[in-house]
Amino acid sequence: MVRKPGAFPGATALDQARSAGKFTPVHDAWWAAAVRAHGDAEGTRALIEVLLLGRHLPHEHIVAGLATALRAGALTADAVALEARKAAQTEDEPAVDVPAPRPGAGSGSGTVTFLHEWKLNHLPPDTRPLPSVTHYDQLLRHRRAGGGDLREGEVP
């Protein structure tokens, strides 16, 4: 299906998944939006990548990720994967500090956290001292622009 996504819309497996309730209206809505945004082939490929997430994530988390990504307009499989993992994590963690909404984010709208922001919010604080370049400054103090050494008190 990944190589020939045009076969997916009429696939028997898709009909079976719909009748079993595994292919939800959220899947259809996200797929339609992805097709509008990326075209038939690329939108369907993105959906297939989302469906392949089922190998590693529970169905309900994928559906939650699809819904959040759809509300935010994030129509890539990576965005759905991130949101599905966030849904799984919030289910596993009893209490988590929720960051304040960013300025410009619509109230009540789904938000997508970018991976670099998520990592920064979940990493322990860096307690290392700031780097120092004083040993380089000492080397520069004794050199003139023309290559000669400076005498004490002389300004380059």
pLDDT in tens, the chain (156 residues): 545 555 566 566 777 787 788 888 988 898 899 999 988 888 888 888 988 888 888 989 999 999 999 998 889 999 999 999 998 887 766 544 555 555 544 444 567 777 777 777 887 887 888 888 888 887 877 665 555 555 566 665
Q: Of 85, 30, 93, which Cα lies nearest the Cα of 53?
A: 85
Tell me, what's the pLDDT at 63? 92
Q: Tokens for 32, please give them.
A: 């339609």
Helix (H, G, I), strand (E, B) or coil at 62: helix
Tell me, what's the pLDDT at 137? 80
Tell me, what's the pLDDT at 122? 80
Q: Tokens for 53, please give them.
A: 């997430």
Tell me, what's the pLDDT at 106? 46
Tell me, what's the pLDDT at 96? 44
Q: Of 86, 40, 42, 44, which Cα lies nearest the Cα of 61?
A: 86
Tell me, what's the pLDDT at 133? 85
